[in-house]
Amino acid sequence: MKKSFLFVLPALFFFNAVFAQAPQREEVAKEIDSYVQQVISTWKIPGMAVAFSWGNEPLLVKGYGVKEQRPADGIGFRGISANDRRVASGGVPGVVNTPGEPIDENTVFQIGSVSKSFTATIMGQLVDEGLVKWTDTVKNILPDFKYYDPWVTDHMQVMDIMTHRTGIGGQVGTYFPNLGYDREDCYRMLALYKPAYTFRGAYQYNNSTFLIAEKIIEKVTGKSWEENLQERVFNKAGMKSSSANADGYAASKNVATPHDYRYTTVELAKAQFPELVDVPADTKGEIVTLPLYGDEQALYWLTGVGPAGSINSTVVDMLRYAQMHMNNGYIVDNADTTRVMSEKAMRKLHEGVTITSQNDNRTTLYAHCWFVEQNNKYRLYFHTGTTWGMTAICFFVPEVKLSGVILSNCEMGSNPRYAVMYKLVDLVMGLQGKDYNKEYFESYITSNEKSWAKERAAQKEVLPAPAPDKAIVGEYAKDELFGDAKITKENGELYISLGKQGYKNRLVHINGATWHFRSDGYAFPVTFTFDEENKKATGFVVGFPNGEENSIGGWKRK
């Protein structure tokens, strides 16, 4: 007994000493507020909003910066002016704000892939209600489901589709909505992608399989994914300013303008085809942030990506959502609680499935749309999100009842978000943390300066087109899913029409047999093949960043 008592007493003393040294809420709020401002200044971020809760009570809820940072000449990314294109691709009104208008806690942002956890939450509710099981095979629910591998088609389960382990390569299928293909088209394309790894054998992040989740949700409920989202999450969690898709984003009254963010020059960032700009070898790069206007806002893509990334929200709404996950299914409003789903169902969503990274003092798993980081100090749940011109992160640490969200109106990368998140956790836990902002920014600048110098020093051999423009003008066929394509020449310019929406985009020669066109915020290379005499193009292949052209093939001249 005496021996046991001697061990317990120091343990109690240590616990009480640490607890006594816990930082006060006011101190933490003041310090993290200052740190957020430091991060914004360091990284040259146009606007950001944050909301943090500690012990189920708001700690800091605040907007910083502006909704739109417009250059003096009014020209945004890729040379589009705020006055030139107020309608984005798909006919949705583009977002244009008064320059300098401040962001507040009720400003709406796109949250990108944080949307995935909403889709998983809906699925968890359906499992809770007995409408579907995690072990159900997809094929039994969706008879039309088809994957490249017949065995996978028959054996893929509901538990597989939102954990990035189905064999599809990283981000495969992500860019098809930019060409005007809708969710149904992209769902059918799943049968074409050659696997990049063994089923359940690895982790490779993608958006495409969430279309399977959408189909299942709609099949078992008889309602659309959007209706389920509104009824099962937004309404239950009290998220009054949240919406989905391009229509919801454009219709918001208090909404941020998206901005491109990259290490380059203003000239290159404003050029529609930067590949054609001659940049002297001694040119210095810098962080350039320009607003996205018109088609560059990629609003058709936003709707097309749907259950994988199309939600729009505010930090006020998202803090309620983060709190709900932290509390395993319920939200605390003063003394009242609102249960959104059962604790059992929520805990299932938070179980790690696949290891995404591991080192001596940290292991990160992927659960149902949450990264679960276990380090030697605490367990952190988080998910990031990125769309055309916006970034997000949502997180919670259950052991200290800390939850939060950071939303920004530029593609600033993950590190500024991580810097704020990790700094906040350190402050709340009373840890002697490092200056993440300084470390991450120095690494970013060093890496980009090296890449910039290497690119400037590289000798680029630019080859002429193998044939005149008239050789590629004409009509091209593919199949029922992808449709036909047409290349025309009008007023001295080449145009390509391709995809289900009939988008017509300028086609520009880049190098040799390769031309480029921009569609809904992305540049696609088009490589032509010609007859033996180079008098007529026989077909072309559209290039994708993840090599999808190797699975889908190209278009042939009619």
Pairing verdict, β 485-490 and 362-366:
unpaired
Instruction: Reply yes or no on whether the pLDDT at 91 is more than 70.
Output: yes
Q: Is residue 263 part of a domain?
A: no
> According to the model, what pLDDT value does residue 432 have?
85
Average the pLDDT over each of 8-22, 305-319, 364-378, 432-446 and give the range with the smallest value. Answer: 8-22
In single-letter form, the type of residue at position 259 comes to H
User: What's the mean per-residue pLDDT of the chain?
Assistant: 93
Q: What is the pLDDT of residues 172-229, one digit of tens each?
A: 999 999 999 999 999 999 999 999 999 999 999 999 999 999 999 999 999 999 999 9
Q: Is residue 217 part of a domain?
A: no
**Shortest CA distance to 406 belongs to which of 131, 85, 35, 24?**
35
Distance CA(501)–CA(549), nearest Å, equals 20
> According to the model, what pLDDT value does residue 457 have?
87
- Radius of gyration over alpha carbons of the chain, in Å? 25
> According to the model, what pLDDT value does residue 190 have?
98
**Residue 519 is encoded by which pair of tokens?**
């569609």
Into how many domains does the chain fold? Answer: 1
Q: Is residue 500 part of a domain?
A: yes
Q: What is the pLDDT of residues 139-160, one digit of tens each?
A: 999 999 999 999 999 999 999 9
Q: What is the pLDDT of residues 397-422, one digit of tens each?
A: 999 999 999 999 999 999 999 999 99
Instruction: Reply yes or no on whether the pLDDT at 110 is more than 50.
Output: yes
- In this prediction, residues 307-316 reach a mean pLDDT of 98
- In this prediction, residues 267-291 reach a mean pLDDT of 95
**Residue 350 is encoded by which pair of tokens?**
């938070």
Query: What's the DSSP call for residue 386?
Result: E
Query: What's the DSSP call for residue 511?
Result: E
Q: Which of the two residues, 456 and 104, has the higher pLDDT score? A: 104
Q: Give the DSSP H/E element, type plus range, for residue 159.
A: none
Q: Is 282 helix (H, G, I), strand (E, B) or coil?
A: coil
Q: Is residue 528 part of a domain?
A: yes
Q: Is residue 484 part of a domain?
A: yes
**Shortest CA distance to 213 belongs to which of 231, 188, 187, 189?**
187
Residue 4 — pLDDT band, cuts 50, 70, 90? very low
pTM metric for this prediction: 0.94
In single-letter form, the type of residue at position 70 comes to R
> According to the model, what pLDDT value does residue 85 have?
64
> According to the model, what pLDDT value does residue 332 have?
82
Q: Which of the two residues, 341 and 2, has the higher pLDDT score? A: 341
Residue 9 — pLDDT band, cuts 50, 70, 90? very low
Distance CA(169)–CA(153), nearest Å, equals 16
Q: Which domain holds residue 493?
A: 469-557
CATH number at residue 532: 2.40.128.50
> According to the model, what pLDDT value does residue 22 have?
58
Q: Is residue 310 part of a domain?
A: no
> According to the model, what pLDDT value does residue 213 have?
98
Average the pLDDT over each of 91-95, 243-247, 253-257 and give the range with the smallest value. Answer: 91-95
Residue 334 — pLDDT band, cuts 50, 70, 90? low
In single-letter form, the type of residue at position 537 comes to A
Chain centre distance of CA 258: 13
Contact 65, 37 (CB under 8 A): no
- In this prediction, residues 248-268 reach a mean pLDDT of 96
Q: Is residue 535 part of a domain?
A: yes
Instruction: Reply yes or no on whether the pLDDT at 13 is more than 60.
Output: no
Q: Is residue 45 part of a domain?
A: no
> According to the model, what pLDDT value does residue 367 have?
98
- Portion of the chain with pLDDT greater than 70, in percent: 95
